[in-house]
Structures are given as structure tokens and as C-alpha cells.
């Protein structure tokens, strides 16, 4: 009888786990960043990171106007900041997802499930959140209740529909309670 063959998942599926932390050499510490990058003496890592989003945004607008989007510029700047911080700080870098709830250094699954509206009884009426799980083919997703979205434009389109529904609910409430009062 033939033995079934079991393929090892290690060969073709990344774990997403961070490598063990190795402290940066002394020449890569934050106080030495100015000399290494050719910046003016006294420029700090925080100052450089604070300037990067605007610089990347302007560079994309100038050099790539046909491909510019605010979301792409923000994502590029966030990646640059994360790499700089990881290289020049003596501790693991902060999470690349600003909305991630996980505070454990080096985590590889990202999530936030805190956005919710509840009824008076505590039950969830509407919730939204995000997840970016290692090994997931979908990448990062933002969900609103049971619907998952893989880009910001789709989320904005759906939240616009929800806003319209809420405006219509407000108008309905005004009419219903005015009619009820008039009956009265």
C-alpha cells in the first residue's frame, strides 16, 4: 500500500514572522544618522520622519503626476519611515499599520476591531475594522459589518451609501414622530 505524500508547507508559504532582533551597530544609532545620510549636523531621526510624508507627496505630484494618489504617497512614506526607524533605533520598529491594535514588538498579524455602534442593550448594530494577516492572499482588508474591502475607494463608496441611509433614517424619524405628535 502506497504511503500518501505530504508536502511541507515550509518550502512555499512564508510565515510572516519577524526575524530575531539584532541591535544596530553603534554607527547606525539615531545620533549618527545626520553624518551617514549627509544631513546637516543635529538633524534627528524624528525630524527626518516628520518631514518625509510631505516630501514624498510633493515628489510624486511633481515627478509622477499621472500616477499620483494620496494613499500611495502615504503608503510609500510610511514604509520609508518604518525602514529608517528599524535601521536606526535600538528597538524593533513600530507596526507599519497605524490602526493596528497589537502592541507586541515584531508581531506579524495586524488587526483592529474597535469601531462599533451598539444598541441600548449592548448588541452590535454596526461594526468596522481592519485585518492584515500573514500568509493571507487578500492582503489588508477593511470591513464594514460582513463586507470586506481591499481598497480605500471601495470603502468610501460603501460608507457614502451608509451615510445616505442614515440621513434618510433621520428624515424618516422626523416625519414619523411629527405625524405621531399631530395625531395626538
Other beta carbons within 10 angstroms of residue 65's beta carbon come to 8
- Give yes or no for residue 154 having a pLDDT over 90: yes
For residue 54, tell me if it sits in a domain.
Answer: yes
Query: What's the domain range around 43?
Result: 22-94
24: cell is: 544596530
Q: How would residue 31 be classed by pLDDT, with cut points 50, 70 and 90?
A: low
Report the C-alpha gap between 38 and 88 in whole angstroms. 15
Q: How many distinct structural domains can be found in the chain?
A: 1
For residue 123, tell me if it sits in a domain.
Answer: no
Q: How far is CA 177 from CA 29, 84, 171, in A?
A: 65, 58, 10
Q: Is the dihedral of CA 174, 177, 183, 184 positive or negative?
A: negative
Report the C-alpha gap between 59 and 76 in whole angstroms. 11
First-to-last alpha carbon distance for the chain, in angstroms, is 84
Find out whether 130 and 111 touch, Cβ atoms under 8 Å. yes
For residue 12, tell me if it sits in a domain.
Answer: no
109-120: pLDDT as tens digits: 898 998 999 999
For residue 68, tell me if it sits in a domain.
Answer: yes
pLDDT of residue 108: 83
For residue 129, tell me if it sits in a domain.
Answer: no
pLDDT of residue 94: 64
Mean pLDDT, to the nearest integer, of 130-151? 88
20's CB contacts (< 8 A; 6+ apart) are none
Q: How far is CA 142 from CA 81, 107, 137, in A?
A: 23, 19, 14
Other beta carbons within 10 angstroms of residue 99's beta carbon come to 15
For residue 120, tell me if it sits in a domain.
Answer: no
For residue 121, tell me if it sits in a domain.
Answer: no
For residue 9, tell me if it sits in a domain.
Answer: no
Q: Is 164 helix (H, G, I), strand (E, B) or coil?
A: helix
pLDDT of residue 38: 66
61-87: pLDDT as tens digits: 998 888 888 888 888 888 888 877 766
Report the C-alpha gap between 67 and 61 in whole angstroms. 8
Query: DSSP string of 48-94?
Result: HHHHHHHHHHHHHHHH-TTT--HHHHHHHHHHHHHHHHHHHSSSPPP
Amino acid at each position: 500500500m502506497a504511503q500518501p505524500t505530504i508536502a511541507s508547507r515550509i518550502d512555499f508559504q512564508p510565515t510572516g514572522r519577524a526575524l530575531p532582533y539584532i541591535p544596530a551597530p553603534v554607527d547606525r544609532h539615531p545620533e549618527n544618522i545626520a553624518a551617514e545620510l549627509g544631513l546637516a549636523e543635529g538633524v534627528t531621526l524624528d525630524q527626518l520622519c516628520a518631514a518625509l510624508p510631505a516630501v514624498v507627496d510633493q515628489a510624486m505630484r511633481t515627478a509622477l503626476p499621472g500616477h499620483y494618489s494620496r494613499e500611495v504617497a502615504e503608503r510609500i512614506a510610511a514604509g520609508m519611515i518604518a525602514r529608517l526607524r528599524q535601521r536606526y533605533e535600538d528597538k524593533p520598529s513600530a507596526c507599519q499599520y497605524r490602526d493596528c491594535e497589537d502592541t507586541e514588538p515584531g508581531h506579524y498579524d495586524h488587526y483592529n476591531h474597535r469601531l462599533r455602534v451598539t444598541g441600548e442593550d449592548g448588541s452590535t448594530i454596526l461594526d468596522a475594522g481592519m485585518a492584515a494577516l500573514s500568509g493571507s492572499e487578500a492582503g489588508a482588508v477593511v470591513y464594514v459589518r460582513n463586507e470586506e474591502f481591499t481598497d480605500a475607494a471601495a470603502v468610501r463608496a460603501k460608507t457614502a451609501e451608509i451615510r445616505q441611509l442614515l440621513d434618510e433614517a433621520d428624515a424618516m424619524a422626523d416625519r414619523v414622530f411629527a405625524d405621531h405628535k399631530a395625531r395626538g
